[in-house]
């Protein structure tokens, strides 16, 4: 895998579904992701089962012409919290999922929530890539953290 992209779903309405502004956020994000996707042919998208995340994932796939089965692993919907004594175990479970799902692909996109986009990149950098102090910034709503696994760097796309 060359890139791991953690997308924070777009704005949602009171029912938890992606709102009009959320759709606009995701469409803007896809323009930033387009060069990565176009230069890498094998892409897989995983999403939380929450409506705003599923709808954001489908919009990303449509805008970027990604043809893949959309999977909804439960760990992407889990409520992660920095004070949870089981946090490292949950982050380890997410890292294992990334490892399993990244076999034979260039880009893995996870469409999920704030805790995953905030807590997972530093864990992944430290535990998988071997980089201390890795990416302490989180994606804003409708933004992403793009991890370049080859150069062991990360950037946040607002």
Q: Please state the rounded mean pLDDT for residues 128-146.
A: 92
CATH number assigned to the domain with residue range 3-157, chosen from the 4 options 3.10.105.10, 3.30.70.270, 3.40.50.620, 3.40.50.1240: 3.40.50.1240
| Per-residue pLDDT tens over the stretch 74-124 | 999 988 988 899 999 999 999 999 999 999 999 999 999 999 999 999 999
Res 88: pLDDT: 94
Q: Which residue has the tokens 């704030």?
A: 114
DSSP, residue by residue, 7-34: EEPPPB-TTSSB-HHHHHHHHHHHHHHH
H or E segment and range at residue 156: strand 153-157
What CA–CA distance (Å, rounded) separates 31 from 29? 5
pLDDT at 151 over 80: yes
Summarize pLDDT for 20-50 with one digit per residue, the tens.
Answer: 888 999 999 999 999 999 888 899 999 999 8
Domain boundaries, the chain: 3-157
Full-model pTM: 0.94
Residues with Cβ within 8 Å of 17's Cβ and at least 6 positions away in sequence, in order, are: 51, 52, 55
């Amino acid at each position: 895998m060359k890139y791991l992209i953690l997308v924070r779903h777009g704005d949602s309405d009171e029912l938890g579904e992606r709102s009009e502004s959320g759709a606009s956020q995701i469409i803007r994000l896809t323009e930033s992701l387009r060069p990565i996707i176009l230069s890498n042919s094998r892409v897989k998208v995983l999403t939380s089962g929450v409506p705003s995340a599923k709808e954001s994932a489908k919009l990303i796939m449509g805008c970027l012409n990604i043809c893949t089965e959309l999977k909804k692993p439960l760990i992407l919907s889990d409520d992660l919290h920095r004070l949870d004594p089981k946090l490292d175990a949950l982050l380890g479970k997410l890292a294992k999922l990334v490892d399993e799902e990244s076999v034979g692909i260039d880009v893995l996109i996870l469409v999920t929530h704030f805790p995953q986009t905030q807590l997972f990149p530093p864990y992944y950098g430290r535990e998988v890539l071997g980089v201390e102090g890795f990416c302490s910034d989180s994606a804003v709503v409708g933004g992403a953290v793009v991890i370049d696994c080859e150069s062991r760097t990360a950037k946040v796309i607002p």
